[in-house]
C-alpha cells in the first residue's frame, strides 16, 4: 500500500503539471472541455487526499497493533469510488472522440458509455460494502462483495480494450495518400495504443492480484494509482494536440499544421491570432460553409506547377510555375 500510494502521489504531480500546461495552452477552449478537465483535476486531488488518509490509518495510526491490520480504513471505499468516477469521465471522453470519428453515429459510443457507467455502479456498491463490513477478510470472503469488485475491474479493462481498438480502427480508416497525413495518423495510433495499454495493464494487474492473492494488499496498492493513469491519459491527450505535429513542441511562431484528429469544434471560439496557420485555414473554411463569412471578401490563391523530366535529345529541363491571386466576394 505504501509503495502504491507513493507512486500515486508521483503520478498526481504529473496530473497537476498537465493541468497547468492545459490552462496555459488552451485558455480559450470551450467551457465543457474546460469543465471536464477541472472536474478530473479536482477528483484527482480528492483521491490523493483519501490515499494519504488510508496510508496514515493503515500504517501510522495502527502501528504495533496487529489486531487492526484487517480493518478497512473509512477512506478506502470513497477512494475506490473516486477512481471509478475519474475512469468514467475519461472513458466517456474517448467515447465522444469515437462518436466524432464515426461520423456522429452512436453504435459504438453508447455501449462504451453504458459499460463505463455500469463500472461506476459496481464501484459504488463496493464502497458501500467496504464501509459496512470494515474488514478485508469479510470483504474477501463475502461472495457478493468479491464478485462485484472483480466485475468492476474487469469492466474497466474491457472498456479500455474497446476504446483502443475502435480508435485505432477509425484512425487507420482515415488514411490518405499524403505522407504527412500518414505520418500523423501513425503517430496518433501509437499514442492511442500506449495510453490504452497502460491503463488497461494497471486494471488487469490489480484484478490478477485481487484474484490470486486477495489476503494481502498488493491489489489495493495497484488500485491507488489506476485513477492517476486515467487522469494523465486524458490531460496528455488534450495537451498533445499542439505537439504531435512534426513530433516536436508547438510554438506560436511556428507554422505547423494541426493533426487531423483535432476536432475543429474545440477551437470555434479561439481567437484567430492564437491559432496555427493550418488550423486557421480549416476554421475559415468551416465558417465559410456555415455562412459566417457572408458579405466579406476572401483572397483565393491558385498555384499550378508543371514539371517535366530531363529531355535526353535536346538536353532541356522544363520547370514552369504559374500562380494567380484573386479577390472575390463571398
Q: Write out pLDDT tens, residues 277-311.
A: 445 555 555 555 555 545 555 555 555 544 444 33
Give the residue-averaged pLDDT of 71-83: 94
Can you give the pLDDT at residue 168?
84
Give the residue-averaged pLDDT of 270-283: 52
More confidently predicted of 184 and 98: 98
Maximum CA extent, the chain: 98
Question: Which of 44-48, 130-134, 324-328 shows the lowest per-residue confidence on average (mean pLDDT)?
Answer: 324-328
Q: Which of the four pLDDT bands, split at 50, 70 and 90, describes residue 313? A: very low
Q: Residue 270 burial by CB count (10 A; 0-12/13-18/19+): exposed, middle or buried?
A: middle
Residue 24, classed as helix, strand or coil, is helix
Can you give the pLDDT at residue 158?
94
The conformation of residue 176, written as its DSSP 8-state character, comes to: -
For residue 244, pLDDT beyond 50:
yes
Can you give the pLDDT at residue 174?
67
Q: Which of the four pLDDT bands, split at 50, 70 and 90, describes residue 261? A: very low
In 3D space, the residue among 1, 9, 127, 130 whose CA is nearest the CA of residue 55 turns out to be: 1
For residue 202, pLDDT beyond 80:
yes
Q: Which of the four pLDDT bands, split at 50, 70 and 90, describes residue 220? A: very high
Across the chain, where does the E strand assignment appear? 297-307, 319-329
> Which of left, alpha, beta for 322 (phi over 0: left; psi -120 to 50: alpha)?
beta
First-last CA distance in the chain: 65
Can you give the pLDDT at residue 270?
55
The conformation of residue 135, written as its DSSP 8-state character, comes to: B
Q: Note whether 156 and 119 are within 8 A (CB).
A: yes
Mean pLDDT of the chain: 78
Residues of the chain with pLDDT > 90: what percent?
47
**92-131 pLDDT, tens digit each:** 999 988 888 888 788 899 999 999 999 999 999 999 999 9
For residue 243, pLDDT beyond 90:
no
Can you give the pLDDT at residue 253?
38
Residue 175, classed as helix, strand or coil, is coil
Question: Which of 42-56, 58-72, 122-136, 218-232 shows the lowest per-residue confidence on average (mean pLDDT)?
Answer: 58-72
For residue 238, pLDDT beyond 50:
yes
The backbone torsions φ and ψ at residue 303, rounded to the nearest 5 degrees and listed phi first, read -130, 135
Cα separation, 256 vs 277, whole angstroms: 7
Cα 10–chain centre separation? 19
Can you give the pLDDT at residue 319?
37
**52-70 pLDDT, tens digit each:** 999 999 999 888 888 788 8
Question: Which of 48-52, 130-134, 146-150, 285-289 shows the lowest per-residue confidence on average (mean pLDDT)?
Answer: 285-289
Question: Which of 93-102, 224-233, 314-323 shows the lowest per-residue confidence on average (mean pLDDT)?
Answer: 314-323
For residue 250, pLDDT beyond 50:
no
For residue 251, pLDDT beyond 70:
no
Amino acid at each position: 500500500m505504501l509503495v502504491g500510494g507513493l507512486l500515486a502521489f508521483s503520478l498526481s504531480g504529473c496530473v497537476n503539471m498537465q493541468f497547468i500546461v492545459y490552462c496555459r495552452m488552451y485558455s480559450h477552449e470551450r467551457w465543457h472541455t474546460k469543465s471536464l478537465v477541472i472536474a478530473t483535476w479536482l477528483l484527482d486531488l480528492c483521491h490523493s487526499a483519501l490515499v494519504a488518509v488510508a496510508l496514515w490509518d493503515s500504517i501510522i495510526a495502527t502501528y504495533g497493533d496487529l489486531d487492526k491490520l484487517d480493518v478497512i480504513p473509512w477512506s478506502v471505499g470513497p477512494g475506490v469510488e473516486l477512481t471509478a468516477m475519474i475512469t468514467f469521465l475519461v472513458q466517456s471522453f474517448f467515447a465522444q472522440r469515437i462518436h466524432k470519428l464515426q461520423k456522429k453515429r452512436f453504435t459504438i459510443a453508447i455501449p462504451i458509455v453504458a459499460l463505463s457507467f455500469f463500472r461506476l455502479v459496481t464501484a459504488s456498491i463496493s464502497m458501500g460494502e467496504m464501509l459496512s463490513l470494515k474488514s478485508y477478510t469479510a470483504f474477501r470472503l463475502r461472495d457478493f462483495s468479491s464478485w462485484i469488485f472483480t466485475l468492476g475491474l474487469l469492466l474497466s479493462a474491457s472498456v479500455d480494450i474497446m476504446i483502443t481498438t475502435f480508435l485505432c480502427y477509425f484512425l487507420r480508416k482515415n488514411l490518405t495518400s499524403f505522407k504527412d497525413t500518414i505520418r500523423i495518423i501513425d503517430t496518433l495510433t501509437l499514442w492511442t495504443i500506449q495510453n490504452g495499454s497502460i491503463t488497461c495493464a494497471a486494471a488487469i494487474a490489480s484484478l490478477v492480484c485481487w484474484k490470486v492473492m486477495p489476503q494481502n494488499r498488493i491489489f489495493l496498492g495497484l488500485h491507488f494509482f489506476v485513477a492517476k493513469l486515467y487522469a494523465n491519459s486524458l490531460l496528455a491527450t488534450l495537451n498533445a494536440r499542439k505537439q504531435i505535429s512534426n513530433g516536436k513542441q508547438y510554438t506560436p511562431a511556428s507554422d505547423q499544421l494541426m493533426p487531423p484528429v483535432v476536432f475543429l469544434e474545440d477551437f470555434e471560439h479561439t481567437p484567430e491570432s492564437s491559432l496555427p496557420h493550418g488550423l486557421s485555414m480549416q476554421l475559415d473554411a468551416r465558417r465559410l460553409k456555415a455562412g459566417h463569412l457572408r458579405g466579406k471578401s476572401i483572397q483565393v490563391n491558385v498555384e499550378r506547377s508543371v514539371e517535366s523530366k530531363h529531355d535526353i535529345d535536346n538536353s532541356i529541363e522544363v520547370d514552369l510555375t504559374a500562380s494567380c491571386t484573386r479577390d472575390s466576394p463571398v
